[in-house]
Amino acid sequence: MEATGSDIVIVRPNRQGAEAKATKGAVILLLVASSAITAIVTFGGWSKLEGAQIWAIFYIVIYLVMAYLVSQWNRGILPVAAALAILFAVVALVAAPAWFDRDKAGFVDPALPPDILGLLTAILVPIQILLIAFAMRAFSQKWNIEVEGTRDEADRRYGGRSTPRPAATAS
């Protein structure tokens, strides 16, 4: 017996496991945390960033966009997130001591105390390292794999977690 078009479903088995869901959640959490800490440092030290504000805002926006894409199971953005996290970790590693150096007499304080800004910038480094590790782990989970089959077969093999295929449009 041949299956009709409405009986065919697409199943993405690599998205079903607890490990894949936890890894996805960790990547989203790390991206949002990085964005939030960067926003605090950016707006807390706005007057002392000397032209770096645009790059900080770029990272805030791009990390939030990447978090949204990862929430939609977009696997292709994960290597981009890891690459940007490498660059960001290097920048944060270089910038943190500069904030601590401003905590001396003769320097005008930004909106937040420089030692707080230095601490937050230093915290960004391990967060970026974790982001790299989790993004690459998520990439290796192959979220993009799709299996096509009948609804009955999908229910039997994957416990009823099938995703219906969009109906084909008639031309």
Instruction: Work out the mean pLDDT of the chain and round it to a whole number.
Output: 82
By C-alpha distance, which of 17, 8, 41, 33 is closest to 163?
8
Phi and psi at residue 81, to the nearest 5°: -60, -40
CB atoms within 10 A of CB 109: 13
Phi and psi at residue 77, to the nearest 5°: -80, -15
Cα 8 to Cα 3: distance, rounded to the nearest angstrom:
7
More confident residue, 83 or 5: 83
* Strand 163-164, strand 8-11: pairing: antiparallel
Burial class (CB in 10 A: 0-12, 13-18, 19+), 51: exposed
What's the rounded mean pLDDT across residues 50-79? 91
CB 57 within 8 A of CB 25: no
More confident residue, 95 or 46: 95
Question: With 70 as the cut, is the pLDDT of residue 34 above it?
Answer: yes
